[in-house]
Amino acid sequence: MNITATKPGTIWGVGLGPGDPDLMSVRAHRLLGQARHVAYFRKKGRPGHARCIVEGLLPPDVREIAMEYPVTTEIPLTDPRYNALLSAFYADCAAQLRALSQAGQEVLVLAEGDPFFYGSFMHLYDRLRDAVPVRVVPAITGMSAAWAATGQPITWGDDVMATLMGTLPEDDLVDRMCRADALVVMKIGRNIDKIRRALRRAGRFDAAWLVEYAAMPNQTVQKLSEAEGRVTPYFSIVIVHGQGRRP
């Protein structure tokens, strides 16, 4: 008896860019138009930002797999339950995608920004790459859209740029802000007051810009000093431009 083994399908981590579908790569757009299975992360009760970006771009018969986070901000990052819950969640998601791949199906995992830049897809990639074929489609990052929105170059000449997470302890933020020429601060949200304090301590506050919803229809751009007291959304980035060597 001849038994032909099923060739595993590829799991694609597809970067969608910062939010505007026009900033998506040609490869990402082509893959979306041919998709049979599309997976994406979302918070329970929400449509999912990645899914919103591709609205109208998917085939009508595509199978959608919504991967709903078990926790987002309900538990502090330092609580051991946080990692335990997310680890089990990513393992379950990876198992579901691995089964589809082993059945010969290709799956597109939608990723906001670039899949390898602080994204949830990386946790799937790490669990899948030794078991099934996985490929990554790179994309424009949210921070690229944010500094473009300010209308100023982020770095000049020999400038050193630091990408910082607002979740870092304040003293760590201050130290890194003092040692870099250009700054990108992400994961703002509830960390905004700590970030303001750190920028002031580092002497960088007056040069800081706040960009909300970069490359999205509701984008806003203003000096951080003009947003005093504001509660910032998740999709916010603080930018401090480098002022280095130039001709």
202 and 220 in a single domain? The answer is yes
98 and 162 in a single domain? The answer is no
Report if residue 247 sits inside a domain. no
pLDDT at 2 over 90: no
* Banded model confidence at residue 4, pLDDT cuts 50, 70, 90: low
Enclosing domain of residue 94? 11-140
What is the rounded distance in angstroms from the CA atom of residue 120 to the CA atom of residue 65?
15
50 and 167 in a single domain? The answer is no
130 and 205 in a single domain? The answer is no
For the chain, the residue count is: 247
What pLDDT is stored for residue 228 in this prediction? 83
15 and 124 in a single domain? The answer is yes
pTM, two decimals, is 0.91
Q: What is the mean pLDDT of residues 93-120?
A: 97
pLDDT at 1 over 50: no
**Domain termination site, one of 93, 124, 140:** 140
The CATH number of the domain holding residue 95 is 3.40.1010.10
Percent residues over pLDDT 70 in the chain: 97
204-247, pLDDT tens digit by residue?
999 999 999 999 999 999 999 999 877 788 789 999 999 999 99
132 and 43 in a single domain? The answer is yes
The CATH number of the domain holding residue 205 is 3.30.950.10
Paired with 109 in beta bridges are 13, 39
Report if residue 245 sits inside a domain. no
Maximum distance among all Cα pairs of the chain, rounded to whole angstroms: 75
Paired with 161 in beta bridges are 182
Nearest to 111 by CA among 31, 193, 4, 218: 31
Q: What is the DSSP letter of 70?
A: S
What pLDDT is stored for residue 39 in this prediction? 98
Paired with 108 in beta bridges are 12, 38
Percent residues over pLDDT 90 in the chain: 87
127 and 149 in a single domain? The answer is no
50-84, pLDDT tens digit by residue?
999 999 999 999 999 999 999 876 677 777 888 89
Long-range contacts of 220-228 (CB under 8 A, 24+ apart): 221/149, 221/150, 224/196, 224/199
27 and 130 in a single domain? The answer is yes
Q: How far is CA 56 from CA 15, 31, 52, 59, in A?
A: 17, 14, 9, 8
**Domain termination site, one of 84, 119, 140:** 140
